[in-house]
Amino acid sequence: MKNAFSLIELLVVVAVLALLAALLGPPVLASIERARVTRVVSDLQTVEVALEAYRTDWGCYPPVTVSCAQLDANEVLQLPQELADGGYLPKNTRTKASALLEDPFHAGSTYKYTAPENYWMNGTKQAERFPVWVPDDFPSCQAAAGKADDSANCPLAWAVWSQGPRPQQTKALSNKAPTAGFTWYRGTGDHGVIGRYKVRDGATWSTFRAMP
């Protein structure tokens, strides 16, 4: 006669496994989140180097990409194609994303980018400059008030960011991200963007101050 588990034994094993998952799951997930945040902070510093190299070569920062088509939602404000085409960042030939740097919190999409520069709208280069949200107390960015600025002397040179963990919760804040402090990710378990931005002719800032 073959040995077999009784129903009670199976239920005990399932209960033990469920208990272990409950105990070990949150620390493991938190560790994964922290690792992704570390990667984001490092990647954004890489993007900073690429943007500054582009400006050195061309005298301005690359244009912004926008679209009014819902199908292009993931490509809106993506890292500029010019960075990949010019060799400033590795090119991604596998997806629509312009560069190989993929946002670990948004699979299949690059990080976001904005700047008060010319922009592409539905594949057509616009003569106007793209308006970026600048808080009244920029660059500390803790004030709730501010304005959209597309002027040549806008105090913000550029901003790049990840949509961060739980991007669905962050979406309601996205129209003022990443320069408004209330849109920033603060730590494990939080939602919000993880970004980096540059003061025109000045320093760069990280929105995640624990890992600048």
Burial class (CB in 10 A: 0-12, 13-18, 19+), 117: buried
Predicted local distance difference test score (pLDDT) of residue 96: 57
Mean pLDDT confidence for 153-169: 90
65-104: per-residue pLDDT in tens? 987 765 566 678 989 989 988 999 988 766 655 666 889 9
Tokens 């596998």 correspond to 94
Query: In this model, does residue 211 exceed pLDDT 50?
Result: no
Query: In this model, does residue 1 exceed pLDDT 50?
Result: no
Whether the CA torsion 104, 28, 41, 50 is positive or negative: it is: negative
The gap from C-alpha 135 to its chain's centroid, in whole angstroms, comes to 19
Q: Which long-range contacts (CB under 8 A, 24 or more apart) does 114-117 make?
A: 114/64, 114/77, 114/158, 114/159, 115/61, 115/62, 115/64, 115/156, 115/157, 115/158, 115/159, 116/149, 116/150, 116/151, 116/152, 116/154, 116/156, 117/60, 117/61, 117/62, 117/63, 117/64
Predicted local distance difference test score (pLDDT) of residue 24: 57
Query: In this model, does residue 145 exceed pLDDT 90?
Result: yes
Between residues 99 and 165, the one the model is more confident about? 165
Report the chain's mean pLDDT, rounded to a whole number: 85
